[in-house]
Amino acid sequence: MFDNLQHKLDKALKSLKGQGRINDLNVADTVKEIRRALISADVHFKVAKDFTDKVLEDARGQNVIRSVSPGQLLTKIVHDNLVDILGGQKSDIHLSGSPAVILIAGLQGSGKTTFTGKLGRWLKAQGRNPLLVAADVYRPAAREQLKVLGSAVEAAVYSEDQNQNAVQIAENAIKYAKANNYNVVVIDTAGRLTVDKAMMDEIAAVKKAVNPAEILFVVDSMTGQDAVNTAKAFHDVLNFTGVVLTKLDGDTRGGAALSIKSVVQKPIKFVSTGEKPDALDVFYPDRMAGRILGMGDVVSLVERAQATIDAEEAEKLSRKIARNNFDFEDFLAQLQQIKKMGNVKDLLGMLPGVGSQIKDLDVDDKAFKGIEALIQSMTPQERTRPELLNASRKQRIAAGSGSTVQELNKLLTQFNQMRQMMKMMKNKRFPGMMPGMKR
């Protein structure tokens, strides 16, 4: 992928150092860099252009403080502007009406049905009694899919398997909801292209028939330049009230979020971040801004670490470190926890400043495998007391793990260095895990 913005800016702004003040002349190239970086993050061309004009305005005349690199300063200006545009405060979902109706719309494959299931779960957690409505009458087995999702989140699903009329189904569903005390109705609709007039007419008719409190436009966060047109076309027909960004658990930069927000001025209400029914989040503008800029997402890293690393284990480990008997068993357990968090390069990339440095580096997850194999070829005694390892033991371990004695020696050296470091940190309060992992 393209390297991140700060890296580019630092390069472009090398000439700027010591010039004291940002002016039109010295940032012209930089602005072009910012624009290209945004486009590489899938921000729409015109949106990027307007955006950089605004950034230029804010940057003009700013003093370049000695302690801050011009690249850092500009990146901050860009970041702040992004957060600003992406929407300052969080926007709640409106659930007025009895029942409150939420209409779900979007292109094919954007994740409407999956989101509908997740929203059902979310609404239940809010103490609501939702009814999910299967009004996608076109895609084979779409109704089946919603039924399965509904039962997984224990939300009721309304479906008329033989009825091919989405408007009727929606109307009947609301009657059914009124009769059976469901207070929120979520209507899943078929994916449609904006150029398909008949289909756009259909969803307009559904809207007219059910008078929704919320119309949520579901969009794949990996969408490119077309996001602007699609959002605009749906907005023209539906005047939707909010946006849902899906598949944000991928590594997309998600520039589409900025494009859509700029063009339709509607809040992003939810982000969808995984395959499980609970992988639904409210939207944080600052995290999204950091992501678009490739600035490193420390918050997500910490959250991911917290989600996967066993707190109890961490506590046990920090006690062991304090007593200075960190051994290969602990090391192995750590490796396995890190692996649970996902791709190592992704994890490193989330650290600020690391992103650009490792862009060309091929971090091999299999590197861990070799280390694991070596440790697993040790006896339990050897793992707890590495000093036992003599030449013949080393040879046995190397052969057993399909490795070499050199590799094993390398590992031992690293391990001892680690132990040394931990010893040094012993006196400071260091709550577990590897250096720098958690603070």
Partner 1 sequence: MAIFNFFSKKNPDSGNEPAETRQGLEKTRTGFFEKLGRALLGKSTVDAAFLDELEEILLTSDVGVETTVEIIQRLEQRVARDKYIDKSSLPAFLAEEVAALMPDPMAPVNSDFSLAGAPKPYVILVVGVNGVGKTTTIGKLAARFAAEGKKVVLGAADTFRAAAVDQLTIWKERTGAEIVSMGMNADPASVAFETVKKGLESGADVVIIDTAGRLHNKVGLMNELAKIRRVIQKFMEQAPHEVLLVIDATTGQNAYEQAREFTQATQVNALAVTKLDGTARGGVVIGVSHTFGLPVKYIGLGEKAADLKPFHKADFLDAIFNHENQKS
Confirm or reject binding of residue 275 to partner 1 (CB under 8 A).
yes
How deeply is 225 buried, as exposed, middle or buried, from its count of CB atoms within 10 A (0-12, 13-18, 19+)? middle
| Residue list 328-347, contact with partner 1 (CB under 8 A) | 342-343, 346
Confirm or reject binding of residue 233 to partner 1 (CB under 8 A).
yes
DSSP 4: P
Q: In whole angstroms, what is the distance from residue 250 CA to residue 296 CA?
A: 15
Confirm or reject binding of residue 311 to partner 1 (CB under 8 A).
no
Confirm or reject binding of residue 111 to partner 1 (CB under 8 A).
yes
Q: Select from 320, 321, 322, 279 the least CA-distant residue to 303.
A: 279
DSSP β-bridge partners for residue 188: 104, 134
Confirm or reject binding of residue 291 to partner 1 (CB under 8 A).
no
Pick between residue 218 and residue 317 the one whose CB is nearest to partner 1: 218
Pick between residue 37 and residue 184 the one whose CB is nearest to partner 1: 37
**Measured between alpha carbons, how far is residue 26 from residues 14, 61, 220 in Å?**
10, 11, 37
Q: Which of 82, 256, 263, 264 binds partner 1 (CB under 8 A)?
A: 256
Q: Which of 58, 80, 171, 249 binds partner 1 (CB under 8 A)?
A: 249
Nearest approach, Cβ of 34 to partner 1 (angstroms)?
Answer: 12
Q: Which of 29, 226, 281, 330 binds partner 1 (CB under 8 A)?
A: 226
| Residue list 152-181, contact with partner 1 (CB under 8 A) | 152
Task: Kindly report the number of other CB atoms within 10 A of residue 183's CB atom.
Answer: 17
Q: Which of 95, 149, 185, 231 binds partner 1 (CB under 8 A)?
A: 149
- H or E stretch covering 360: none
Pick between residue 37 and residue 173 the one whose CB is nearest to partner 1: 37
- Contacts within 8 Å (CB) and 24+ apart, 235-238: 235/263, 235/264, 235/266, 237/194, 237/200, 237/203, 237/204, 238/103, 238/105, 238/203, 238/204, 238/207
Confirm or reject binding of residue 142 to partner 1 (CB under 8 A).
yes
Pick between residue 123 and residue 142 the one whose CB is nearest to partner 1: 142
3-class SS of residue 293: helix
Confirm or reject binding of residue 299 to partner 1 (CB under 8 A).
no
On whether the CB atoms of residues 131 and 184 are closer than 8 A, the answer is yes
Q: In whole angstroms, what is the distance from residue 355 CA to residue 373 CA?
A: 29
Quick one: which segment of 38-46, 53-61, 234-242, 398-406 binds partner 1 (CB under 8 A)? Answer: 38-46
Pick between residue 26 and residue 225 the one whose CB is nearest to partner 1: 225
For 371, the token pair is 């280390």
Binding site for partner 1 (CB under 8 A): 1-2, 36, 39-42, 44-46, 107-111, 113, 117, 138-142, 144-149, 152, 193-196, 220, 222-227, 229-230, 233, 246-247, 249-253, 255-256, 275, 342-343, 346, 365
